[in-house]
């Protein structure tokens, strides 16, 4: 689906396939994504003046904040980085430089665009690899004739006949190759030796990724590449040669230019746990450091230029989606300048038992569907009754109330514990039809639920 076709309603409809509820958050991100397309279609002089409408999502863990942002990026094929704000410099240890998240985002974009280019040229690369395999299997030879043995016309005629015969043989080999009849044939290939020799590592206080230079590549280009001869079967040779041809066909300069543009125009950074860098307005101690992190983040969110190993990147139009539980703080505790850069605030609801039932069954990647499909690979036909799903949701809600509320993530722990025995014994099971009902759920989880201390460790 193109950006023009991604209307807010369609974006919400796509998000509904994977995320239950949280309609306010879905509407907010849908509008933010559509605003990008709108900005691209306004007059050029006004385009750079329109700032992205950054969002703060407020809600407990496990209610869908990260998933909404991740699915949004996937819809628009945008470079997406999920990072915890608390990873940046805080008192007591040296954290990561805030600029590193832009470098990470560029690296993701380069890999994304490179993969797209690899798919685009793969068919041509396979054709070239096939020709190289045929050259190995049937090297081209000219007919050997000594000067004076034949007249000039006869010599030319012999060459033509030889060329036709060689071409016929080559085409017969091509058909055998495509039918897989040469798969057991061994061929010799000269391939690049990927083993790393001695190298120098340079570390800075913020980590080697922050140097902005690829030291290994710099030193590697100073010396000729080593090759080694390998004897492999034809299918493996085809894979190796196809990858070599793919790398030759890709224009890395174009990949880098496209990647930098994509980061600047459609990059999305999800800043999780932003509430962890909120202080309590004291003038000393760790709160000073947390405010320092906010001030470090401010230029990136406001719009600045960051140096990466691929070139300079402007952050003016990157969309930032921040998230946090804000259980003991509130968004207004952020420094005023940073608050102003997150104009949209949406609150996500805590998940109820009814939400859990929908999460287990409704989304395209619903948890129940996942387990049914996985066990089907072992020829186990597993069926969940409606009352069993209600019971699983009840257990997850109960454990969330008693212990830490981790939202929908609790369903994973409950399902794993419930199906532990079946998952372990599936390959050897003689009974292939398994019915999971409410009684089965109670039997497997009753002791753990009743023992609150045990449920803290297991569920």
CATH number of the structural domain spanning residue 284: 3.40.50.300
Q: Is the pLDDT confidence value at 310 over 70?
A: yes
Q: Is residue 1 domain-resident?
A: no
* Chain segment 9-62, per-residue pLDDT in tens: 999 999 988 888 888 999 999 998 888 888 888 888 888 888 888 999 998 888
Decide if 132 contacts 182 (C-beta within 8 A): no
Residues 6+ apart with CB under 8 A from 346: 24, 25, 28, 55, 56, 57, 58
Do 125 and 222 lie in one domain? The reply is yes
Write down the pLDDT at residue 161. Answer: 66
Q: Which residue has the higher pLDDT, 142 or 182?
A: 182
Do 69 and 126 lie in one domain? The reply is no
Query: What average pLDDT does the chain have?
Result: 81
Q: Which of 24-28, 45-49, 97-101, 453-457 has the lowest mean pLDDT?
A: 453-457
Q: Give the highest mean pLDDT range of 160-174, 378-392, 400-414.
A: 378-392
Do 360 and 450 lie in one domain? The reply is yes
- Name the nearest CA neighbour of 353 among 325, 317, 390: 390
Burial environment of residue 356 by CB neighbours within 10 A (0 to 12, 13 to 18, 19 or more): buried
Distance CA 72, CA 35 (A): 13
Q: Is residue 82 domain-resident?
A: yes
Q: Is residue 271 domain-resident?
A: yes
Greatest Cα pair distance, the chain, in angstroms, is: 102
* Chain segment 416-448, per-residue pLDDT in tens: 889 888 899 888 888 888 898 988 888 888 776
The secondary structure of 378-395 as a DSSP string is TT-EEEE-HHHHHHHHHH
Q: Is residue 433 domain-resident?
A: yes
Do 158 and 250 lie in one domain? The reply is yes
Q: Is residue 443 domain-resident?
A: yes
Decide if 212 contacts 306 (C-beta within 8 A): no
Q: Is residue 303 domain-resident?
A: yes
Q: Is residue 370 domain-resident?
A: yes
Do 126 and 225 lie in one domain? The reply is yes
Do 239 and 175 lie in one domain? The reply is yes
Listed residues 347, 375, 405: the one ending a domain: 347
Q: Is the pLDDT confidence value at 88 over 80?
A: no
Distance CA 323, CA 344 (A): 12
Decide if 304 contacts 295 (C-beta within 8 A): no
Do 155 and 245 lie in one domain? The reply is yes
Listed residues 233, 256, 279: the one ending a domain: 256
Q: Is residue 211 domain-resident?
A: yes
Do 128 and 211 lie in one domain? The reply is yes
Do 217 and 299 lie in one domain? The reply is no
- Name the nearest CA neighbour of 174 among 236, 125, 230, 238: 238
Q: Is the pLDDT confidence value at 321 over 50?
A: yes
Distance CA 347, CA 350 (A): 10
Could you tell me the pLDDT band of residue 217, with boundaries at 50, 70 and 90? low
Could you tell me the pLDDT band of residue 93, with boundaries at 50, 70 and 90? very low
**Domain boundaries, position 184:** 113-143+151-256
Distance CA 287, CA 284 (A): 7
Could you tell me the pLDDT band of residue 202, with boundaries at 50, 70 and 90? very low
Could you tell me the pLDDT band of residue 91, with boundaries at 50, 70 and 90? very low
Neighbours of 284 (CB within 10 A): 6
Decide if 274 contacts 324 (C-beta within 8 A): yes
Do 381 and 445 lie in one domain? The reply is yes
CATH number of the structural domain spanning residue 437: 1.10.8.60
Listed residues 326, 347, 368: the one ending a domain: 347
Q: Where are the alpha helices (DSSP H) in 98-229?
A: 100-137, 152-178, 215-220
Q: Where are the alpha helices (DSSP H) in 308-366?
A: 336-340, 353-361
Count of the separate structural domains present in the chain: 3
Do 117 and 237 lie in one domain? The reply is yes
Do 224 and 309 lie in one domain? The reply is no
């Amino acid at each position: 689906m193109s950006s023009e076709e991604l209307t807010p309603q369609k974006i919400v409809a796509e998000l509904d396939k994977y995320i239950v509820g949280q309609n306010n958050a879905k509407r907010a991100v849908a509008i933010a994504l559509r605003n990008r397309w709108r900005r691209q279609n306004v007059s050029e002089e006004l385009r750079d003046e329109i700032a992205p409408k950054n969002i703060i999502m407020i809600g407990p863990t496990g209610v869908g904040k990260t998933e909404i942002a991740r699915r949004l990026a996937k819809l628009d094929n945008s470079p997406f980085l999920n990072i915890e704000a608390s990873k940046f410099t805080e008192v007591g240890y040296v954290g990561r430089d805030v600029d590193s998240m832009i470098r990470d985002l560029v690296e993701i974009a380069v890999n994304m665009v490179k993969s797209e280019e690899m798919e685009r040229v793969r068919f041509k690369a396979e054709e070239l690899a096939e020709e190289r395999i045929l050259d190995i299997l049937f090297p081209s030879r000219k007919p050997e004739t000594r000067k004076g043995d034949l007249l000039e016309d006869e010599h030319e005629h012999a060459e033509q006949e030889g060329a036709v015969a060689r071409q016929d043989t080559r085409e017969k080999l091509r058909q055998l190759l495509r039918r897989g009849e040469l798969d057991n044939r061994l061929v010799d290939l000269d391939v690049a030796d990927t083993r790393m020799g001695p190298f120098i590592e340079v570390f800075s206080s913020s980590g080697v990724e922050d140097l902005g230079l690829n030291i290994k590549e710099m030193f590697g280009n100073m010396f000729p590449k080593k090759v080694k001869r390998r004897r492999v079967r034809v299918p493996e040779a085809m894979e190796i040669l196809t990858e070599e041809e793919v790398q030759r066909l890709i224009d890395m300069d174009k990949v880098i230019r496209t990647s930098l543009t994509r980061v600047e125009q459609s990059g999305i950074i999800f800043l999780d746990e932003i509430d962890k860098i909120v202080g309590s307005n004291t003038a000393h101690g760790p709160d000073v450091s947390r405010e320092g992190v906010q001030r470090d983040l401010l230029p990136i969110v406001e719009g600045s230029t960051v140096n990466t190993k691929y070139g300079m990147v402007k952050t003016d139009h990157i969309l930032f989606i921040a998230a946090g539980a804000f259980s003991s703080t509130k968004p207004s505790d952020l420094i005023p300048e940073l608050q102003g850069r997150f104009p949209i605030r949406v609150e996500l609801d805590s998940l109820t038992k009814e939400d859990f039932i929908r999460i287990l069954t409704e989304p395209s990647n619903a948890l129940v569907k996942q387990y049914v499909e996985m066990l089907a690979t072992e020829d186990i036909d597993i069926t969940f009754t409606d009352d069993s799903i209600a019971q699983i949701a009840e257990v997850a809600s109960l454990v969330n109330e008693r212990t830490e509320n981790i939202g929908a993530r609790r369903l994973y722990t409950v399902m794993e514990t419930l199906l532990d025995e079946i998952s372990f014994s599936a390959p050897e099971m003689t009974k292939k039809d398994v019915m999971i009902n409410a009684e089965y759920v109670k039997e497997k989880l009753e002791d753990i639920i009743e023992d609150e201390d045990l449920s803290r460790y297991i569920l």
